[in-house]
Amino acid sequence: MTIDPSGFRKDTKQLFKQFTMTTPTTEKQPAPFIVVEDGETKKVNTVDELLKMKNGTEVLQTWPGKVRSDIFYFKVKDLKDHIKKGG
């Protein structure tokens, strides 16, 4: 199983900086990450757990808004690259 990324937001820069993922943390996120790793769908609660997954692991994350929520699609490698660059 893989995620069809069409229809999900992929412009993750603002999500990574402002919402949950500036630095690795063991704190639970307001909304869990939904991941697909090796064909299996899982719920992941922390950035630390997410960073231990394979680079190609697909991730969905909800960013709650005042009027509507957005769902973002990215891969674990995208988050690792963001953190490596200093957030």
- What are the structural domain ranges in the chain? 13-84
Q: Using DSSP, state whether 20 is helix, strand or coil.
A: coil
Neighbours of 81 (CB within 10 A): 13
Q: Which two tokens stand for residue 73?
A: 């699609």
- The position carrying tokens 């490698």 is 77
Q: Which residues partner with 40 through β-bridges?
A: 37
Write down the pTM of the prediction.
0.82
How does the average pLDDT of the chain come out, rounded? 83
pLDDT in tens, 5-44: 888 888 888 788 765 555 556 667 777 899 998 889 999 9
